[in-house]
Structures are given as C-alpha cells and as structure tokens.
Amino acid sequence: MDPRKHSFPPVTDAATRLLVLGSLPGERSLAEQRYYAHPQNQFWRLISPAAGRDLAALDYPDRLATLRTAHIGLWDVVASARRTGSTDAALRDVEGHDIAALAATLPDLRAIAFNGATAFRTGTRQLGAAADRYAIIGLPSSSPLHTIGFENKLPAWEVLRTLLA
C-alpha cells in the first residue's frame, strides 16, 4: 500500500486577501518540505506578477515572506492521501482540509484561486456554501504535467493581481 502523504501548514496571516490552493505537494516538495520545489513547476513564475516581484529569483523563506507582503496565502485542498508519485490522478484515500474554516479566520479574504482542475473540483466541493462569499478562480495547473506552456497559462494567473488591489 502507498504511504500516506501529508500537506504543509497554510501560509497565511490576517491580511491575506487571496488564497491560492493546490492539491497536495508532489514528491520533490514533500522531500524538501517546500511548496512547489520541483524546478520544472511554474508556480513561482506564474504567481510573480500578482506578487509584484520575481519570486523564482528568491530563496524559499523570502518567497513566502513576499507572498505574505503581497497579501497572498498558500495552502492545499488535500490534508493527506495515499499516492504513488506526484500526479493528482494517483491520489487515493483523500482527506481534505477544512478550507471554509481557514477562510473564516481571514478577515480580509476576497478571493480563492485553485491551482489546477483537481484542486478546483475538490476545493469548491469542500467550500460548499462558503464559496458564495469569495471570488472563485480556476487556474491552469502550474505543474509541468499540464503541458499547455507557460505563455498559455500566464494570462489566467495575471488576473490574480486585480484581486489584490
């Protein structure tokens, strides 16, 4: 049986206006205990316009600090699951996070964005009626497995900046 994988704590504070939710960190991220650690994952490049700074050029603690300064939070919809490898399609025995409970602790939260189809499908179901309180945005996955190319993903991610003004 596949070992159980666990998500990381949320990266949020009381000033978070935008919460970006992935599914569950991949193998590289779990090994390094860092969100989006795989060098081919485009997350840090895609979120940079919203943060107003090139996050890919920063070390990990500075990336997280810059997200907080930009009022962007980060978490996952899956608290734990069994999975071989890093693909969302391999997720089994999924336990979700209580996204609505976290959102309720964020007084300035305006929008929740989902990084990829699995995060969107799972997260909107978890939010339930609470979804009506926020702008809900589905984003093309930053994963290298979503092969439409950075240039095709970027316009959807650039919209996030407008939610922070």
Higher model confidence: residue 83 or residue 110? Answer: 110
Give the mean pLDDT of the chain.
Answer: 93
Catalytic site residue from 16, 23, 41, 143: 41
* Confidence label for 3 from pLDDT (cuts 50, 70 and 90): confident
CA 55 – CA 63 distance, rounded (Å) = 5
Q: Over the stretch 91-117, which tens digit does the pLDDT of each residue have?
A: 788 889 999 999 999 999 999 999 999
Residue 9 has pLDDT above 90, yes or no: yes
Residue 132 has pLDDT above 90, yes or no: yes
- What pLDDT was estimated at residue 84? 78
| For range 126-132, the mean pLDDT | 93
- The continuous run of DSSP H or E covering 44 comes out as helix 43-51
118-7-129 Cα angle (round to 5): 50
For the chain, list the strands marked E by DSSP.
Answer: 4-6, 18-22, 72-76, 78-82, 92-96, 111-115, 135-139
- What pLDDT was estimated at residue 45? 97
Q: Is 152 a catalytic residue?
A: no
As a whole number of Å, the end-to-end CA separation of the chain is 47
* Confidence label for 31 from pLDDT (cuts 50, 70 and 90): very high
* Burial of residue 67 (number of CB atoms within 10 Å: 0-12, 13-18, 19+): buried
pTM of the model: 0.94
Percent of the chain residues past pLDDT 70, beyond the cut = 96
- What pLDDT was estimated at residue 97? 93
- What pLDDT was estimated at residue 1? 61
* Confidence label for 148 from pLDDT (cuts 50, 70 and 90): confident
